[in-house]
Amino acid sequence: MSDDPVAVLERIAYLLERGRESTYRVRAYRGAADAIRQAGEERVKELAAAGRLKDLAGVGDKTEQIVLEVLAGKTPSYLIQLEGSLEEAENGPGAAVRAALKGDCHTHSDWSDGGSPIKTMAEAAIALGHEYMVLTDHSPRLTVAKGLSPERLRLQLGIVEQLNEELAPFRILTGIEVDILDDGALDQEEELLAQLDVVVASVHSKLRMDSEGMTKRMVAALASPHVDILGHCTGRLVVGRGRPESTFDAELVFACAEKFDKAVEVNSRPERLDPPRRLLRLAVDMGCKISIDTDAHAPGQLEWLPYGCERVAEVGVDLDRIVNTRSADDLLAWAASHAA
């Protein structure tokens, strides 16, 4: 256990993200970490001894207790509780699949609707032992998610290039989660899509379109030489009030994915777990490649991969059909083949 209260507070914030806790709670712990860091070790100890830690703006009752426990040489019980929250999934039937994954092909940063800078997301991926992550912020029409205009995406490409020099040998692969529009067109300039390493295409609008229209929409996207992965194909949500699956001819869509050598995403977000098992089995039976992704919008969410791995293990998928078991170079070669 760290004897640094800043490190412990930041670890708790990370674990809260992993557990899908509210942004408010995450910020409370990060804010307390910043306050303790800025105050300095000696002042923190003085305030703690005087019972005045809450004099620091950003430190409240719960975060004060965490700091006091750390300064007393104890491991906070709250930290112990949070650390165990993924243990079952990590050691479950998907453990062998998880161990084979070399990266994550669907991640977001604060350039769109993620909560953390690109570098922070990359550093979290490095800490998990990943060799790469594909940065897939949203496309322009998803304004609620601050989708990237062509101009902003070009700026992001420059930032990624700089970060790759700094973080090597880890690699941030350029990408996008591009919206599949009503007619199957893609929501970004073709010239830009052609420059990206990996493109995830997803439906985010008119999710209750009739089956025939949705099928045509997905098939058109999969036929595009720019698309590599079909993201969260049913659009369902399985928590809270939930959201029903979009309807489409799954056999036709998966046949198209197999024909064009595209991957069907297994989205590991606990509220999505998309596609449902029956469709995942169908995709596997039809010979589709699979990409197991987190769709992470925060560093802690990068640890959601075991949820997807467990479902893939249940269905039974050969590791060589999971695209993110490949090295970065092999993944790039596979993606580049779609434009050949």
Tens digits of per-residue pLDDT, 134-184?
999 999 999 999 999 999 999 999 999 999 999 999 999 999 999 999 999
Which residues, 6 or more positions from 87, have their beta carbon under 8 angstroms from its beta carbon? none
Cα–Cα distance for residue pair 201/188, rounded to 1 Å: 11
**pLDDT value, residue 88:** 62
**The two structure tokens encoding residue 176:** 């996008």
CA–CA gap between residue 150 and residue 311 (Å, rounded): 36
Sorted by where each starts, the structural domains of the chain and their CATH numbers stand as: 5-85 (1.10.150.110), 91-337 (3.20.20.140)
Which residue reads 């700091």 in tokens?
A: 67
User: Which residues, 6+ apart, have CB-to-CB distance to 258 below 8 Å?
Assistant: 286, 287, 288
Token pair of 335 as six digits: 């993606």
Distance CA 297, CA 110 (A): 8
Please name the helix (run of DSSP H) or strand (run of DSSP E) that holds residue 104, with its range, or none: strand 103-107
Burial class (CB in 10 A: 0-12, 13-18, 19+), 258: middle
Q: What is the pLDDT of residues 240-263, one digit of tens each?
A: 889 999 999 999 999 999 999 999
How far is it between the farthest Cα atoms of the chain?
A: 69
Any idea what the Cα angle at residue 237 is, between residues 236 and 238, rounded to 5°? 120
Identify which has the larger pLDDT, 92 or 15. Answer: 15
CA distances from 135 to 21, 31, 108, 138, 146 (A): 23, 26, 6, 10, 15
Give the H or E element holding residue 216: helix 211-223
Average pLDDT score over residue span 275-282: 97
Q: Residue 85: what pLDDT?
A: 63
Q: What is the pTM of this model?
A: 0.85
Confidence at 117, pLDDT banded by 50, 70, 90? very high
